[in-house]
Amino acid sequence: MTSVDLDALNLALPAYTTVLSASFEAEPDWSARLTLTLQASPATTPDTLRLTCSGVSGLSLHGFGGGLTQVLCLRGTDIRDQRLDRLNFAFTDLENDAITFQCRTFEFVTAQA
């Protein structure tokens, strides 16, 4: 992914705050993949954003489940200058620290109903 992709994602993310699903899977090389599906807020629209991250490390979740789960200020950061082994991006919910992780790559797709 490029900084342009990250900028586009960061511009889109504030509109999508409700967590519809979170999936954490092992990939064939034994790294991890995280897929988050977020719904636009207010939840009166079925528009979604699906963020898929590969090579996930350091995943931390707080307050997920038990009712409505929201990430109010999810933000991606380019951390390639830190030269961490196979980690290029960091994602954090800046509002309430609901989710934090680093990853090698990411992609996102928005869908309108």
Backbone angles phi, psi at 77, to 5 degrees: -135, 140
Q: Higher-confidence residue: 93 or 1?
A: 93
Backbone angles phi, psi at 110, to 5 degrees: -105, 150
Please tell me the predicted confidence (pLDDT) of residue 2.
55
pLDDT digits (tens, 9 = 90+) for 40-96: 976 667 899 999 999 999 999 998 988 889 999 999 999 999 988 899 999 999 998
Q: pTM of the full predicted structure?
A: 0.90
Domain spans, the chain: 3-111
Query: 91 to each of 34, 42, 78, how far by Cα in Å?
Result: 12, 22, 9
Q: Would the pLDDT of 22 be above 80?
A: yes
Which range among 19-28, 29-38, 41-50 shows the weakest confidence by mean pLDDT?
Answer: 41-50
Name the strands in the sheet holding 32-40, side by side, starting at the edge strand that comes first in the sequence: 16-26, 32-40, 48-54, 105-111
